[in-house]
């Protein structure tokens, strides 16, 4: 059995979890916080990053590596097209979403979500990059109705967990939802994917964990 390690507030954890559910792969979950100094964790994920998985053959880290493993190990139901070019187009979208959108917006997260502040220079740099990269993303994304075309695929597992964070972080810190401002109707798309039972399960469990953490903070724990 596969064990998914990490925590449900992580978009990359939920990306992997959504794939596991979509494929109907039996799995267990283990709470592991990011940057754990525990040697048992570092032996699986040397940078202490989550998510990672434990398999009967050994551990794997990095969310996209995990997804590619799951697709190869459990090919049905497929989340990548059989055609190599079309499969590569799905991976291209994932790279754009995670490297050119989410990773840039992540610089804003301390202020957007965690009560910190980011410098004016960081804000200006993030705005400039997001404006350029969102315009590039629009050239690749189809939203017809799914991000890569007419069928739900692996790229949707990345888009569904990350696009809202890009939009929310830019709105909270930069004063404008840069995705919506560029004409990306991400809310309709998130609603569409969110109607899938698998996505509903991920969202419900993420919300429950958010409420549990908020309650613990309120109690000073």
Domains identified in the chain and CATH numbers:
2-73 (3.40.30.10), 84-216 (1.20.1050.10)
What is the pTM for the complete model shown?
A: 0.95
What the block records as the tokens of 100 is: 């050119």
**How far apart are the C-alpha atoms of 57 and 141, rounded to whole Å?**
36
CA distances from 77 to 24, 73, 80, 174 (A): 8, 11, 9, 40
pLDDT in tens, the chain (221 residues): 999 999 999 999 999 999 999 999 999 999 999 999 999 999 999 999 999 999 999 999 999 999 999 999 999 999 999 999 999 999 999 999 999 999 999 999 999 999 999 999 999 999 999 999 999 999 999 999 999 999 999 999 999 999 999 999 999 999 999 999 999 999 999 999 999 999 999 999 999 988 887 776 666 65
Are 170 and 20 spatial neighbours (Cβ–Cβ below 8 Å)?
Answer: no
């Amino acid at each position: 059995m596969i064990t998914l390690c990490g925590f449900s507030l992580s978009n990359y954890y939920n990306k992997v979890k959504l794939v596991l559910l979509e494929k109907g792969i039996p799995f267990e979950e283990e709470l592991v916080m990011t940057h754990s100094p525990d040697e048992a964790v570092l032996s699986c994920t040397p940078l202490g990053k989550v998510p990672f998985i434990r398999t009967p053959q050994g551990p794997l880290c990095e969310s996209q590596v995990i997804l590619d493993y799951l697709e190869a190990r459990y090919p049905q139901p497929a989340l990548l097209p059989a055609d190599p070019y079309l499969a590569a187009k799905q991976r291209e979208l994932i790279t754009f979403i995670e490297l050119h959108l989410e990773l840039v917006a992540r610089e804003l997260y301390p202020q957007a979500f965690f009560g910190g502040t980011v410098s004016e220079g960081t804000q200006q740099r993030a705005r400039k990059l997001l404006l350029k990269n969102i315009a590039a993303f629009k050239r690749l994304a189809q939203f017809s109705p799914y991000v890569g075309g007419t069928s739900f695929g692996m790229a949707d597992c990345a888009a569904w967990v990350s696009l809202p964070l890009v939009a929310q972080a830019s709105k909270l810190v930069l004063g404008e939802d840069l995705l919506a401002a560029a004409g990306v109707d991400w809310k309709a798309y998130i609603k569409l994917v969110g109607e899938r039972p698998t996505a509903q399960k991920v969202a419900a469990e993420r919300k429950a964990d958010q409420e549990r953490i908020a309650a613990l903070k309120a109690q000073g724990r």
